[in-house]
């Protein structure tokens, strides 16, 4: 509590040691204090009072004119004396002045009694204890400041974004990493609702989430490490973010701390790895594993809808000759061009996959009849019959196709692929550039 007092109008005495140290009487804030002794203890006491509004140091005295406390006092415009008695006389108009005697002169207490008429001097063991307390407090304060500075430095330099909000959802802390992630400066977001950083529908629902937590104590977010959420940058771009949120009580108030990391690059890498695991690196068509999943799904769908599915196995005719003659780069280019032609020859709902070398497989959903499957096979062979331009040369390849049907030939996806593969070899043996059904293979084996 700050106390203001009106002091006497009479000016204090001027110390004979320095006429420049006149102490002007004025309205002061806090209790007036006189310090006798300007050594280490006096400096520590003066520094403490300089940072406290409850007390006002009006003078400090020491017999040594070079005492560090006198120099500090002069730097802050505080009257200095080299004679304790003169200092006491100068302060007599401050009726409630408190005197701290840090000198070893026991006569100061008696002189103060003569000046002020009562005993208001702290000296001896009392002052020593007080000085030790002040020293300890300064040390603790310094350690706290160093800890706080270290913490602030960590928060400022950490690579993860750190955002602090109050229980109203208003942003109070926003470190540089958060500024970089979201594109806002701290000044732009402090005091605003954190929902600013969220896409819909989370933006509209966020305040309700906080209110519900405050009233019920139940949360699906607090305490969860690395929860993946969507966030919004200043430019409106949505991006994936990893969030760890926690709660903190400070000074009787509730705060929420969010530690976040932009995982855009990680998600892209994961997607790339996932893509490479399921797609052919050269043609970007589904690979064997993904193709079997797709075919199995098509079989299950056809079972429910009582429809037919065709599995086709296509092997290029003449590919090895081009690959050996023009080189592997020409062979790779040919496979890419073949992939494009195959995809253009079937419906968008159908699937074309590369299962290795110059082998391709296809899934034709809801094919209807065997004749429709034959027509698609002929269309594929016709598309491959057109010449390919490779390294300035016109090249030609063909295709042999084997066809297996669900449910006619098998109700198992893997078995259908095996049957189509076997039928493809019958097509090659029959002169290439044609197609054969698995049914035809079975007829040939049984001599029908």
Contacts of 447 (CB under 8 A, 6+ apart): none
Burial class of residue 216 in the structure, from the number of CB atoms within 10 Å of its CB (0-12 exposed, 13-18 middle, 19+ buried): exposed
Pairing of strands 388-390, 393-395: antiparallel
If we measure between CA atoms, which residue out of 308, 341, 349, 290 comes closest to residue 437? 308
Distance, CA of 103 to CA of 127 (rounded, Å): 10
Q: Which two tokens stand for residue 73?
A: 């006092």
Distance, CA of 261 to CA of 156 (rounded, Å): 15
If we measure between CA atoms, which residue out of 60, 64, 73 comes closest to residue 100? 60
If we measure between CA atoms, which residue out of 341, 355, 358 comes closest to residue 311? 355
Catalytic residue among 262, 317, 350, 358: 358
358 tagged catalytic: yes
Polymer length in residues for the chain? 448
Paired residues of 403 in beta bridges: 312, 437
Q: Which two tokens stand for residue 126?
A: 């009392």
Determine how many CB atoms are found less than 10 A away from the CB of residue 209: 15
Determine contact, residues 195/207, Cβ cutoff 8 Å: yes
Determine contact, residues 253/166, Cβ cutoff 8 Å: yes
Based on DSSP, count helices (H) and strands (E) in the chain, helices before strands: 15, 19
Q: Which residues are catalytic?
A: 358
């Amino acid at each position: 509590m700050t106390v203001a007092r009106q002091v006497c109008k009479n000016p204090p005495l001027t110390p004979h040691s320095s006429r420049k140290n006149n102490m002007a009487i004025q309205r002061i804030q806090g209790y007036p204090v006189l310090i006798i002794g300007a050594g280490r203890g006096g400096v520590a006491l003066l520094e403490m009072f300089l940072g406290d509004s409850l007390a006002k140091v009006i003078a400090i005295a020491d017999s040594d004119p070079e005492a560090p406390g006198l120099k500090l006092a002069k730097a802050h415009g505080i009257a200095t004396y080299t004679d304790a008695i003169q200092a006491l006389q100068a302060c007599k108009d401050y009726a409630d002045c408190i005197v701290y005697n840090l000198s070893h002169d026991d006569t100061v207490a008696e002189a103060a009694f003569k000046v002020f008429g009562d005993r208001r001097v702290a000296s001896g063991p009392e002052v020593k204890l007080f000085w030790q307390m002040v020293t300890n407090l300064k040390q603790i304060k310094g350690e706290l400041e160093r800890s706080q500075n270290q913490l602030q430095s960590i928060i400022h330099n950490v690579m993860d974004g750190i955002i602090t909000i109050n229980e109203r959802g208003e942003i109070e802390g926003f470190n540089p990493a958060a500024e970089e992630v979201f594109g806002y400066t701290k000044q732009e977001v402090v005091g605003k609702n954190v929902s600013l950083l969220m896409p819909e529908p989370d933006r509209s629902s966020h305040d309700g989430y906080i209110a519900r937590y405050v009233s019920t104590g139940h949360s699906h977010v607090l305490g969860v490490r690395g929860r993946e959420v969507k966030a919004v940058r200043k430019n409106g771009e949505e991006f994936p973010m990893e969030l760890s949120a926690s709660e903190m009580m400070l000074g009787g108030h509730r705060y929420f701390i969010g530690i976040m990391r932009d995982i855009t690059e990680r998600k892209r890498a994961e997607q790339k790895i996932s893509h490479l695991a399921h797609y052919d690196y050269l043609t970007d068509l589904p690979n064997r594993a993904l193709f079997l999943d797709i075919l199995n799904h098509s079989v299950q769908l056809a079972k429910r809808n009582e429809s037919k599915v065709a599995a086709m196995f296509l092997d290029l005719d003449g590919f090895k000759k081009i690959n050996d003659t023009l080189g592997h780069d020409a062979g790779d280019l040919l496979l890419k061009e073949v992939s494009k032609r195959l995809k253009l020859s079937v419906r968008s709902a159908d699937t074309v996959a590369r299962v290795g070398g110059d082998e391709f497989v296809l899934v034709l959903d809801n094919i209807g009849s065997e004749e429709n499957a034959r027509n698609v096979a002929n269309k594929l062979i016709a598309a491959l019959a057109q010449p390919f331009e490779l390294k300035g040369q016109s090249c030609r390849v063909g295709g042999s196709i084997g066809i297996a049907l669900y449910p006619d030939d098998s109700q198992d996806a893997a078995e259908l692929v095996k049957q189509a593969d076997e039928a493809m070899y019958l097509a090659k043996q029959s002169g290439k550039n044609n197609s054969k059904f698995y049914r035809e293979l079975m007829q040939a084996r049984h001599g029908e």
